[in-house]
């Protein structure tokens, strides 16, 4: 698994998912957004962490009585205990929110273990409780039924699809109010750097537009006057 | 219609829809969640009541001029006056939210009449107004057009489908932030009792997990030490 | 383009989209709701303005590198600068929210230019930022990817479909918490007048229902006693 | 139930569902097509008959063991024996083809009883067998699972929705290779007459277009020369 | 992997997918139909074989240039060479038919290798060519784009979902004109036996219904007279 | 509009849509398939022609009485008379097949005028009649209602979306049993040449695979022995 510095991960905390999507788009990657998921509750800051995955398949009734959870090796429970602190648990629920992918107790356990976040392309139960926890969680919509109703956890930390996006173990997962973006581990460092630079320029553009300037020649930068203004503006910014 | 004690109905107020879904799952009932509906506004407490139903079919234009409401027997208006206090009005809108199932005035009338809640698998109009009322309302999404545009009220208090779930008149309808669950009247008492017991144990688990304990052996309970801890914990709980 | 007085536009600010939908329904127009869109953030007041449109088609990769924005005539950017103050920019994104229709910078520019609102049947990026702006914005859901990923802006101010509704340039666009309604320009004046009158009567009905009166004979008005009560109630209302 | 002459029903055998849809459109009825259904196998002639309905709701597992069919009053089996010869059995399966609405044995029994056809907005099992029978059958797609899996037959000969269209018992149901149209019983006679006349003119148009004539002035008829040609053409037609 | 006799597999060739679905339903298995797939071309006989699986995830552009096929270990190509003769290759394409799961050349290679059939919940390209081959193939619809456009083959012979059904390597896959059913390997023998018996009785019912008998008391068998008739009928059947 | 030789157009007649999709994929174009459309009836040969477009928006009731067709300039009828012989009429129906995009009479007129084909991402009425005509037609499914029910023809020969693909006037449209591919006019010549070469090699592969050869090293060609075999095979082919 590609090594990624903590300083790189920290950079992702200061950039938005739209900026990341554009940086990936420049590299020919058009399909790295986990479609249709949003955070539960109010995010205090972006979710950032490397992907640890859990794969569900459709549940077969005879293999999914409640008693399966008596087995400490059950993949869902095992994943909750195995997902490394600082990682994001990403679940392939085949986009099916008719039964929950997880509930309040498992998410609380992940939080206590220092996991950085949790994502499903299905739904969570106990959504109000999860909304109040200190761990970012992203899903499609709340869903009361137990996962056993429709989802059978089958293996962990394999490549999966989630919300139509490919997710490989170790990819950088970033989530904010616009959803979740998957940054391939191999290009995480360069994407982080570029996104930081883009963010700075976008902040300048927001300032200028807020002062009444037209976007033409400014966004994107084509008028050299704006280049000059930007360099001056940067000097005025407080150090970060 | 199966008789259900008020004390049973009261028990449902203290348990969540996920807990109920699991209790039903144990009994082989996997399809009792009304899919895709959420409460308007902030629920102060769970919605609990017995189902009174209204069935819509697709509207035929010649049968649905606005003047149909001049008839005091029009099924939609009749249902609003007939739904017993304490019941929940559940509407089969065929999952179609392109026109409203009801609006603020009808919901207000239901509230004044002491109805316990209202559910549609379509949408409500005047959603901001309804959000502020003292009656729980669950729908798919807001929808401005009058019901006559697409929905013709055809009969009341017959078995219906709502959000993919079967709803029989008299079933217990419970709604919270995770959606709505339909408990068959025949098993309401036993499900209520079991859900109360499950809720108590889950509260214990939340406490233990919040203290850093692993879920293995705890949820579900397979380690006898946890059984002992649970019994001690119970003694410490304030009487409800 | 049909002329519409400012006084007519002002009337639309005091009526709800459900009331407008019913007024249009009386005229045989059943399909004027832009389906599936809701406001970002809390609306301070209704969005009202005449439609200025932007049409997207599916993006062809070779025609949509990021460099297209270097062209000041790019239809998306041109539309943002051309949409007249007081108008509503309505975008046909083919109901596809997998890529954004616009983001925070463009919406801020529209706000600065005095545009009255923005609507897409897709999604916006930078949704949290837009939620806090003083310009109403309606979409399906947040979406991080740049519009170039899936949407190619192709022309402006032509008739379009948006959320399944026909939108002609100059139509009156009204948005509130129940979504967005399109009022054909040709009948805007009469619809505004009727909606104002309907709203007054509905306010009376809300009062009466809040006092415990049945809807039968009241909504709609069929009992002459209620006509009399209404006339008295009107006299008691403060002048608007 | 409105009386309809056999001669009227016979007229429907000679007209197509598109022609009927247009005749209904002229009367303000835009939603009388059962959407998404097609005939199994090759139709020898149009399906024509009056609607007899069967309504399904979602199946509750405890009420739908295979043993329910031991009850001769089970609504699905009862409907198959009760549907009058010459009628069309129309089933509301909520557009859900994941389980069958009926299979080969029941359809064969309907055929033997002289029923004129069968329609579901779900699917049939034993579709190859049904394709070869002398009874028209329309569905969405083949589906192997027994109806009990998802569909509980609940009552018969009530108004239903089927494929998004309203169907009242006694309505005239017409099916051909373009799908199924529902003609309200009250206007069946006049619609039949108009459709016969339209069909004759369309036959003329097909002839003219086949000879190379433009559709302008011909379809619809606005050029008086074409009126004259049509009258001459009619005289040349063999008596029907 | 559970052993299954050839004689058991042979029994599956004589029974239909609806009969199998009912036999599984009796055992509490309601979700073993691969939804939404149909055979290409005319099936000469049922498809029967044990499942060998291939799992796709969404394609990441940088990992899916055409040159990946230069690698003889590419999972899609490897699966085509590894799937055992007599097995059925079942592909999890996440229900996405916007790009092909495979094309004519690969299907031809499977046929040459003696593979018993191929199933995807997506689509095939070269569908006309495949329709004419001596290997049963089931899909959702034809699809021209190469699999690399949207599908990345990731691993083989792991448990998958296909058309909403769970498929474990070694399960018995049976396909006919009503679609595809997955029989868990563990119960294949008993299900085969029961289905054979059910088929015989259904053949008797078809005969009786074709002679005009009512289904009441016959299907299911509740009238003892029919039991007697059935035993006589069996004696008259030619040995199979 | 880019000029395209007849010889280039002729080349497209000998290649399949999957081959074209792969040739476009090599050039970074992943989205040129009109999704979800298939030919009516049996195609005698591929449909090839340059795109002439018609754009529909959702129908507004007051603008779409049947009498609109009295106007010879109505865009639908005008398009049918204006589409050049040899072109393909491609209609943007917003993927909505609930009402027809056109019917038998208009398609017959197109055929008589020498138009090369017709495509809609909605549906046709009179589908059986169209199936028998000597003009290829592609749609989603048959649909009986008149286009006026839901579709208002608004302009012609502008860039449109069809089945999720971008279509510019003059693009080369190729259709066969796998659906329809849009080849941008600017690269039509080079794509045609490449597809012809690919087709020849694929024919060789089909031959080899039919003789029992593995695909490894053959498809794609990585084993030099196969290159030699291919060159020999080519010499044996009859001249085309």
Render pLDDT for B11-31 as a digit per residue (tens, 0 to 9): 999 999 999 999 999 999 999
**Contact yes or no for C185/C170 (Cβ under 8 A):** yes
Radius of gyration of chain B (CA): 20
Which residues partner with F138 through β-bridges?
A: F39, F119
Are the beta carbons of E146 and F210 separated by less than 8 Å? no
Per-residue b/e over F95-132, b at no fewer than 16 CB within 10 Å? bbbbbbbbbbbbbbbbbbbebbbbbbbbbbbbbbbbbe
Instruction: Give yes or no for residue C240 having a pLDDT over 70.
Output: no
Which residues partner with C39 through β-bridges?
A: C138
**Contact yes or no for C137/C40 (Cβ under 8 A):** yes
Q: Are chains B and D touching, using the cut-off of 8 Å on CB pairs and a minimum of 3 such pairs?
A: yes
Which residues in chain B are closer than 8 Å to C202, comparing Cβ atoms? 105
DSSP per-residue letters across B96-142: --SSEEE-HHHHHHHHHTT--EEEESSEESSHHHHHTSSS-EEESS-
CB pairs under 8 A between C and F: 62
Helices (H) then strands (E): counts for chain F:
7, 13
Q: Tell me the pLDDT tens digit for each residue of C121-179.
A: 999 999 999 999 999 999 999 999 999 999 999 999 999 999 999 999 999 999 999 99
In the stretch 6-25 of chain B, residues with CB closer than 8 A to chain C read none
Are the beta carbons of C22 and B146 separated by less than 8 Å? yes
Which two structure tokens, joined as six digits, stand for F209?
């695979």
**Contact yes or no for A94/A36 (Cβ under 8 A):** no
Are the beta carbons of C219 and B69 separated by less than 8 Å? yes
Report phi then psi at A85, rounded to 5. -50, 140
Instruction: Give the per-residue pLDDT at D240.
Output: 62
Q: Is E114 on the interface with A (CB under 8 A)?
A: no
CA dihedral angle for residue F63, residue F65, residue F69, residue F71, rounded to 10 degrees = -50
Test mutation, E21, E36, E57, E157, chain A, max A CBs within 10 A: E57
Helix H or strand E segment including A181:
strand A179-183
Q: Is F102 on the interface with D (CB under 8 A)?
A: no
Nearest-by-CA chain A residue for E31:
A60
The arithmetic mean of pLDDT across residues B52-71, rounded, is 95
CA dihedral angle for residue F224, residue F229, residue F235, residue F236, rounded to 10 degrees = -170
Are the beta carbons of B59 and D155 separated by less than 8 Å? no
* Smallest Cα distance from B69 to chain A, Å: 36
**Contact yes or no for D116/D90 (Cβ under 8 A):** no
Q: Tell me the pLDDT tens digit for each residue of F51-79.
A: 999 999 999 999 999 999 989 899 999 99
Q: Are chains C and F touching, using the cut-off of 8 Å on CB pairs and a minimum of 3 such pairs?
A: yes
Which residues in chain D are closer than 8 Å to F125, comparing Cβ atoms? 17-18, 21, 178
Q: Give E197-201 contacts, CB < 8 A, sequence gap 24+.
A: E198/E15, E198/E19, E198/E22, E198/E23, E199/E14, E199/E15, E199/E16, E199/E19, E200/E234, E200/E237, E201/E230
Are the beta carbons of E31 and A60 separated by less than 8 Å? yes
Are the beta carbons of C184 and F94 separated by less than 8 Å? no
Q: What percent of chain E has pLDDT over 70?
A: 100
Which residues partner with D138 through β-bridges?
A: D39, D119
Model confidence at B239, pLDDT cuts 50, 70, 90, reads: confident
- Reduced to 3 states (helix: H, G, I; strand: E, B; else coil), residue E6 is helix
Q: Tell me the pLDDT tens digit for each residue of B196-215.
A: 999 999 999 999 999 999 99
In the stretch 128-157 of chain D, residues with CB closer than 8 A to chain E read 128, 141-146, 148-149
Instruction: Give yes or no for residue B33 having a pLDDT over 90.
Output: yes
Question: Where does residue E217 fall: left (phi above 0), alpha (psi -120 to 50 degrees), or beta otherwise?
Answer: left
Interface partners of chain A (CB pairs < 8 Å, 3 or more) are: B, C, E
- Taking the C-alpha atoms of residue F118 and residue B154, their distance in angstroms, rounded to an integer, is 42
- Taking the C-alpha atoms of residue E154 and residue E55, their distance in angstroms, rounded to an integer, is 6
Q: What is the mean pLDDT of each run of 10 residues along chain A (240 residues)?
A: 95 98 98 98 95 98 94 93 98 98 98 98 98 97 98 97 98 98 98 98 96 93 93 88
Which residues in chain F are closer than 8 Å to E109, comparing Cβ atoms? 209, 214-215
Q: Tell me the pLDDT tens digit for each residue of F176-223.
A: 999 999 999 999 999 999 999 999 999 999 999 999 999 999 998 989
Helices (H) then strands (E): counts for chain A:
7, 13
Test mutation, A25, A36, A54, A61, chain E, max E CBs within 10 A: A61
Helices (H) then strands (E): counts for chain D:
7, 13
Q: How far is CA F83 from the centre of its chain?
A: 15
Residue A226 class from Cβ within 10 Å (0-12 exposed, 13-18 middle, 19+ buried)? buried
- Reduced to 3 states (helix: H, G, I; strand: E, B; else coil), residue E207 is helix
Strand ranges (E), C31-150: 33-34, 38-39, 47-58, 87-92, 100-102, 117-120, 123-124, 137-139
Instruction: Give the per-residue pLDDT at A238.
Output: 84
**Contact yes or no for B119/B91 (Cβ under 8 A):** yes
CB pairs under 8 A between B and C: 82
Which residues in chain C are closer than 8 Å to A202, comparing Cβ atoms? 105
Which two structure tokens, joined as six digits, stand for E209?
């219904």
Which residues in chain E are closer than 8 Å to F215, comparing Cβ atoms? 77, 80-81, 105-106, 109
Instruction: Give the per-residue pLDDT at F238.
Output: 84
The arithmetic mean of pLDDT across residues B39-51, rounded, is 96
Are the beta carbons of C128 and A216 separated by less than 8 Å? no
DSSP per-residue letters across A10-75: HHHHTS-HHHHHHHHHHTT----EETT-EESS--SS-EEEEEEEEEEEEPPGGG--GGGGGSTT-H
Which residues in chain C are closer than 8 Å to B77, comparing Cβ atoms? 215-216
- The whole model's pTM is what? 0.97
Q: Is B59 on the interface with D (CB under 8 A)?
A: yes
User: Distance between the two ends of chain F, CA-based, in angstroms?
Assistant: 31
- Taking the C-alpha atoms of residue B46 and residue F20, their distance in angstroms, rounded to an integer, is 58
Q: Are chains C and E touching, using the cut-off of 8 Å on CB pairs and a minimum of 3 such pairs?
A: no
Which residue has tokens 């896959």? E173
The arithmetic mean of pLDDT across residues D199-219, rounded, is 95
Strand ranges (E), D36-170: 38-39, 47-58, 87-92, 100-102, 117-120, 123-124, 137-139, 151-156, 160-162, 165-167
The arithmetic mean of pLDDT across residues C39-62, rounded, is 97
Give start and end residues of each alpha helix (H) in chain D: 6-12, 17-26, 75-82, 104-112, 127-131, 188-210, 224-236
Instruction: Give yes or no for residue C62 having a pLDDT over 70.
Output: yes
- From the list F27, F154, F164, the residue facing C58 with the nearest CB is F164
Which residues partner with F52 through β-bridges?
A: F89
Are the beta carbons of C161 and F57 separated by less than 8 Å? yes
Q: Is F29 on the interface with C (CB under 8 A)?
A: yes
Interface partners of chain F (CB pairs < 8 Å, 3 or more) are: C, D, E
Per-residue b/e over F201-226, b at no fewer than 16 CB within 10 Å? bbebbbebbeeebbbbebbbbeeeeb
- Reduced to 3 states (helix: H, G, I; strand: E, B; else coil), residue B171 is coil
Q: Tell me the pLDDT tens digit for each residue of B68-102.
A: 998 989 999 999 999 999 999 999 999 999 999 99
Kindly give, in sequence order, each residue whose CB lies less than 8 Å from that of residue B42, ignoring residues fewer than 6 positions away: B131
Which residues partner with E38 through β-bridges?
A: E139
Instruction: Give the per-residue pLDDT at A1.
Output: 80
Q: Kindly report the length of chain E.
A: 240
Q: Tell me the pLDDT tens digit for each residue of F121-146.
A: 999 999 999 999 999 999 999 999 99
- From the list B179, B214, B220, the residue facing A144 with the nearest CB is B179
Which residues in chain E are closer than 8 Å to F206, comparing Cβ atoms? 104-105, 108
Which is nearest to F70 in space by CA: A181, B221, A203, D222? D222
Instruction: Give the per-residue pLDDT at A240.
Output: 62
Report phi then psi at D19, rounded to 5. -60, -40
Q: Is D194 on the interface with F (CB under 8 A)?
A: no
Which is nearest to C207 in space by CA: C182, C184, C238, C230? C230
Are the beta carbons of F66 and D26 separated by less than 8 Å? yes
Top-confidence range, B230-239, C33-42, E213-222: C33-42
Which residues in chain F are closer than 8 Å to C94, comparing Cβ atoms? 94, 161
Are the beta carbons of C215 and B128 separated by less than 8 Å? no
Are the beta carbons of E158 and A161 separated by less than 8 Å? no
Are the beta carbons of D143 and E178 separated by less than 8 Å? yes
Which residues partner with A47 through β-bridges?
A: A175
Q: Is E169 on the interface with D (CB under 8 A)?
A: no
Instruction: Give yes or no for residue D15 having a pLDDT over 70.
Output: yes
Are the beta carbons of E18 and D103 separated by less than 8 Å? yes
Q: Are chains A and E touching, using the cut-off of 8 Å on CB pairs and a minimum of 3 such pairs?
A: yes
- From the list E29, E62, E152, the residue facing A62 with the nearest CB is E29
Give start and end residues of each alpha helix (H) in D13-120: 17-26, 75-82, 104-112
Instruction: Give the per-residue pLDDT at D239.
Output: 74
Nearest-by-CA chain C residue for F63:
C29
Report phi then psi at E58, rounded to 5. -60, 140
- From the list B30, B178, B222, the residue facing A126 with the nearest CB is B178
- From the list F30, F60, F152, the residue facing C61 with the nearest CB is F30
Which residues in chain E are closer than 8 Å to D70, comparing Cβ atoms? 220, 222
Q: Is A94 on the interface with E (CB under 8 A)?
A: yes
């Amino acid at each position: 698994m590609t090594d990624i510095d903590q300083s790189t991960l920290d950079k992702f905390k200061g950039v938005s998912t739209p900026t990341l999507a554009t940086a990936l788009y420049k590299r020919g990657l058009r399909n790295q957004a986990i479609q249709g998921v949003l955070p539960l509750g109010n995010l205090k800051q972006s979710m950032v962490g490397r992907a640890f995955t859990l794969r569900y398949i459709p549940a077969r009734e005879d293999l999914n009585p409640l008693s399966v959870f008596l087995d400490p090796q059950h993949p869902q429970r095992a994943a909750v205990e195995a997902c490394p602190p600082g990682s994001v648990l990403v679940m392939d629920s085949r986009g099916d929110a008719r039964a929950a992918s997880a509930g309040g107790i498992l998410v609380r356990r992940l939080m206590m273990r220092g996991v950085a976040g949790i994502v499903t392309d299905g739904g969570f139960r106990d959504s109000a409780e999860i909304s109040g926890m200190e761990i970012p969680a992203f899903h499609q919509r709340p869903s009361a039924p137990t996962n056993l109703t429709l989802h059978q956890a089958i293996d962990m930390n394999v490549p999966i699809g989630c919300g139509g996006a490919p997710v490989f173990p170790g990819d950088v997962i970033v989530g904010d109010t616009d959803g979740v973006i998957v940054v391939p581990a191999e290009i995480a460092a360069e994407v982080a750097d570029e996104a930081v630079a883009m963010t700075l320029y976008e902040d300048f553009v927001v300032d200028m537009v807020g002062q009444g300037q037209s976007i033409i020649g400014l966004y994107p930068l084509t008028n050299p006057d704006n280049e000059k203004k930007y360099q001056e503006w940067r000097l005025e910014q407080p150090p970060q």
